[in-house]
Structure formats: structure tokens, C-alpha cells
Amino acid sequence: MARTDKINEIIIDFISIIFPRLCPGCMTPMVRAEEHLCFTCLGDLPTLRHQGYVNREMVDYLSLRYPIRQGYSLLYYHKASIVGNILKQVKYKGNTDLAIQLGNWLGSVLEFEKLPDLLIPIPLHPAKERRRGYNQSEKLARGISDSTGIFLCANFLERTRDTFTQTRKSRVDRLLNVQDIFRPQPTIDLKGKTVILVDDVYTTGATIEAALSPLLSAGVEEVIPVTLATGK
């Protein structure tokens, strides 16, 4: 190892003692070899691996009203958990690097008979995106795009109004809260395309359901909902 590299490592180690990098999952200091999450949290993450990452609950519910045949999630979620902490970091704390990395991981486990044509993230209202500084679903979709090569189309869906938070709302209230809030861009032709619809978390399905109608009305042949996490 070159002398300058060794000095750089010593400086990095010294800085990490004074300003430790905290794991977003458990908020404990991370060592140099740990990047976005500590090794303990990575080992403890509850994934849907045992069922091929297929979110059967999501598919069964959405297919009652829409022609949904596939749907996937990476992690199980409940509020007081490692995944709950991770979602807070991704949604509210500006940890976009973590969102992209998790999207990359999600993309690496997806398996399709035929590669979909493009990725469409659930949009935020422009005012909310300005306040937050980013759209977490777009960052997740960017990570999926990086690992799969699927084209990311971030501006096809537009959110027409800034809704109240969905937290603590019932399924019916959530559906009413997001009714008719998305519209497609008429200048983009997606007729006959297969689209992956990306969101951060699946709970009642209200937000994804609200996005399905404009996508299918625009002539999209198949929509595959994909989320980072799903309520357990």
C-alpha cells in the first residue's frame, strides 16, 4: 500500500471517530467496510426471498380490479423496525444514496420472462418535491434502472394535487385521499408498453391503484407494481 493511501486511511479513521457514520437501520456507528447499512442490519433485514420476492397480497388485491399478473417487493415492513428506520431515511432524511443502493438491490432480484420497457416512479406533487428536495420513488427507480438497464421515465405521471399524508388512514380514506390525483403526459406514447410502477412501500395499495387507471387508459399493455417494502 502506498504511503499516501495509508495516510488517507488514517485520516478517514480519525474523522470517523469524531464524526461517526451512523447506520440508518440501527443508528450505531459503522466501520469503514460498511457502506450504506451495517453488516448486522443487512443480516437482519426481513426479505421476501423465500417467495421469490413476489408480493402475493399486492397482486391478489390489485388483480381484483386491474389486469395485474406480477408484483414484487424486497422487504417486509412494520413501523417500529429496522425497515421502518430505513424508510424514514429514504423518505424524509435525504438519504438518496441509500435509496439508490436499495433500488439497485431490488433490481438485481427481479426476474422477468421478457424485460419490461420502462420504469415509472410514483410522483410527488411538485411543491412537496421542492420541500423535500427529491422524490424517493424516483431514486429507487434510478437504482433499479442502474442494475437492470431498463429505461427510467420519471416524468410520465404527474401529481395534480398535494395530498395529506396517508399515515393512520383507513383503506377507504386512503383511496379517497388519492382519487384522481395522477394524470399522464399526453405527449409520451406508451401504447403497448410493459411498465414497472415503482413506489417506496405497499400498505393498502391506494396510491398504486390511483396510478394504474391513468397508465392503463394511456394504452400501457401491462403494469408491474414494484415496491421497496410491504406491510407485514
For the chain, the average pLDDT equals: 87
| Bridge partners, 114 (sequence order) | none
What are the grid coordinates assigned to 61, written together? 388485491
Judge whether residue 178 has pLDDT over 80.
no
Q: Residues 88-112: what's their mean pLDDT? A: 95
pLDDT of residue 168: 55
Determine whether domain 46-231 maps to CATH 3.40.50.2020: yes
Reported as a pLDDT band with limits 50, 70 and 90, residue 66 is: very high
Judge whether residue 8 has pLDDT over 80.
no
Judge whether residue 33 has pLDDT over 60.
yes
Judge whether residue 52 has pLDDT over 90.
yes
Q: Is the pLDDT higher at 210 or at 177?
A: 210
Concatenating the DSSP letter of every residue in 16-57 gives HHHSPPBPTTT-PBPPTT--SS-HHHHHH--BSGGGTTB-HH
pLDDT of residue 76: 96
Q: How confident is the model over 109-138, as pLDDT tens digits?
A: 999 989 999 999 999 999 999 999 999 999
Reported pTM: 0.85
Asked whether the beta carbons of 61 and 230 are under 8 A apart, the reply is no
DSSP character for 76? E
Domain segments of the chain: what residues?
Answer: 1-44, 46-231
What are the grid coordinates assigned to 182, written together? 395522477
pLDDT of residue 35: 84
Is the torsion defined by CA of 138, 139, 140, 146 positive or negative? positive
136-148 and 82-91 helices, crossing angle to 10°: 100
pLDDT of residue 179: 67
Is the torsion defined by CA of 21, 22, 25, 26 positive or negative? positive
Coil/strand/helix, residue 104: helix
